[in-house]
Structure 1
Amino acid sequence: MLLARGSSDDPNTWLWTLAAIALYAVLTYGLTYRARVRRGSAHPARDAVHDLKDREDPQSPRQRYVSRLIMLGGALVVGLAVALTSGPLRIVVAGLAGAATVVGWAYYDFRTARRTPAPR
């Protein structure tokens, strides 16, 4: 009789989980920073940090929903890539899937961002 285990005792599982959380935080900050630079902020790094805790929602609810679906779908793809591969191939496949997700997410946010006129 086989018993299903809910979690693994393998410490690499925790490292991958923490890496995914850290990657999400870095990407969220990077996209917020990029948006602040595009809007012409005098202090984009500081403003991006404030935006992370004070969420002013520049996107419509539909755009935000689609953006989050892209992010969660990408996380699912990366998670499946990690679960279905092993060894050095795992790192390569997870990196490529993560990079593709980030590019898709950034492209969607870029295409749906509200444009502000350039300062003269």
Structure 2
Amino acid sequence: MVVARGLPEGPTEWAWLAGIIGAYLAISYLLAYRARRRRGASAAARGALHDLGDRRPVQPPGQYLASRMIMLGGALVTGVAGFLTSGAVRVVVVVVVGLLAIALWAYFDHRTEVRSSQRAE
């Protein structure tokens, strides 16, 4: 019998979840830092860190849905890649495919976020 679960139970599952969240935050930070450096900001690292924590404005419904579909599609592709492989190859494939999916998701959110100059208006 298969029982549905909601939260991770073991430390390995929590580590995977923390890794996914950490990768998303790291990639989001790097994208924000790169954007600030290209605009010539003097304190790009501090500004990018502030942008990372300043997520109050919600995306428009269409962009929010697209962001969640990218997230779910990436999770599905990563899960299928893990299902189709085994052994040490599985870990490598899941990590590579997962990081690519997270990078795509973070890049989409970065490109569609409401800029601070538009928030002030």
Verify the 8 A CA contact 2:24 2:106 in the aligned structure 1.
no
Structure 2 counterpart of 1:53, one-letter code: G
Return the TM-score normalized by structure 2. Answer: 0.61
Q: Which protein has the larger Cα radius of gyration, Structure 1 or Structure 2?
A: 1
Counterpart residue number, 2:87? 87
Q: Distance in 1 between matches of 2:67 and 2:48?
A: 18
- What is the CA-CA distance between 1:108 and the residue it aligns to? 5.8
- What is the CA-CA distance between 1:97 and the residue it aligns to? 1.0
Matched, 1:44 2:57: no
Moved more, 99-108 or 68-77: 99-108
Structure 2 counterpart of 1:29, one-letter code: Y
Counterpart residue number, 1:118? none
- Go from structure 1 to structure 2 and tell me whether the alpha carbon gap of 1:40 and 1:81 turns closer, same or farther (over 3 Å shift): same
Counterpart residue number, 2:54? 54
- What is the CA-CA distance between 1:36 and the residue it aligns to? 1.2
Q: Distance in 1 between matches of 2:108 and 2:23?
A: 19
- What is the CA-CA distance between 1:10 and the residue it aligns to? 3.8
Counterpart residue number, 1:4? 3
User: Identity of counterpart residues, as a percentage?
Assistant: 46
Give per-residue Cα distances to partners, 1:31-85, cap 9 Å, x unaligned. 111121222211111000111223487x887566545543443233224434664
Q: Distance in 1 between matches of 2:109 and 2:2?
A: 44
CA RMSD of the aligned region, Å? 3.6
- Go from structure 1 to structure 2 and tell me whether the alpha carbon gap of 1:103 and 1:26 turns closer, same or farther (over 3 Å shift): closer
Return the TM-score normalized by structure 1. Answer: 0.62
Q: Secondary structure at the match of 2:15?
A: helix
Q: Distance in 1 between matches of 2:24 and 2:74?
A: 11
Q: Distance in 1 between matches of 2:36 and 2:61?
A: 20
Q: What 5-or-longer segments of structure 1 have no aligned partner?
A: 115-120
Aligned length: 112
